[in-house]
Amino acid sequence: MLRCILSGTLILLLAACASGPNEAISKPQADIKFVDYKGFDRDLINSLNAPLPKIQVAFYEQITPNALPERVQKWMAAVEANGGKVDITVPKSNSTISAKSPLLIISVITSLWSANKMVQEVSGEAQFNAASLYNAEVILKYDESNKMVIDKIIFHKK
């Protein structure tokens, strides 16, 4: 009898010490900052599976279209693999931009084309199924040195 009471008390004490779920992880977010680690995938999956009309991904660092991280390229490929589309929004022409700027636009297309190789990879991975309900928009901007960089990526609900 004493053993049952002690066991029950121990279980109650341990249960009281257990922490609840982490709100930052369990709550879908409409705005996500990209950091190249698995936690980004978890946050994006959680947000894509929620009934959010759009999810915006911003970057801590300036990233050129050619340097789109592989983790993000896989998500773009997953959108396309699931029947979605990836649009590129280029900023209005800046009169101080050099003649090589059209090459930067071509580099965006080339970068997304190379992501097509990932379509076969991601189509078999269950984690990317969350992208099936969304289209993606890559929004570009000119930085202070007139270099074209990615401003943000927005996942729009279909």
Element containing residue 58 per DSSP (H, E): strand 54-59
62 contact partners, CB below 8 Å, separation of at least 6: 143, 147, 149, 150
Place of tokens 């109650």: 12
Number of other CB atoms surrounding residue 81 within 10 Å: 22
Residue 37's alpha-carbon distances to 16, 34, 44, 149, in angstroms, are 32, 9, 12, 21
The pLDDT confidence band at residue 123, using thresholds 50, 70 and 90, is low
Work out the burial of residue 128: count CB atoms within 10 Å of its CB; fewer than 13 is exposed, 13-18 middle, 19 or more buried: buried
Contact call for residues 69 and 34 (beta carbons, < 8 A): yes
Element containing residue 153 per DSSP (H, E): strand 148-157
What pLDDT sits at residue 126? 78
CA dihedral 66, 125, 29, 65 (to 10 degrees): 0
CA distance 35 to 38: 9
pLDDT digits (tens, 9 = 90+) for 57-113: 999 999 998 899 999 999 999 999 889 999 999 988 765 544 445 555 555 555 555
Contact call for residues 113 and 63 (beta carbons, < 8 A): no
What pLDDT sits at residue 132? 92
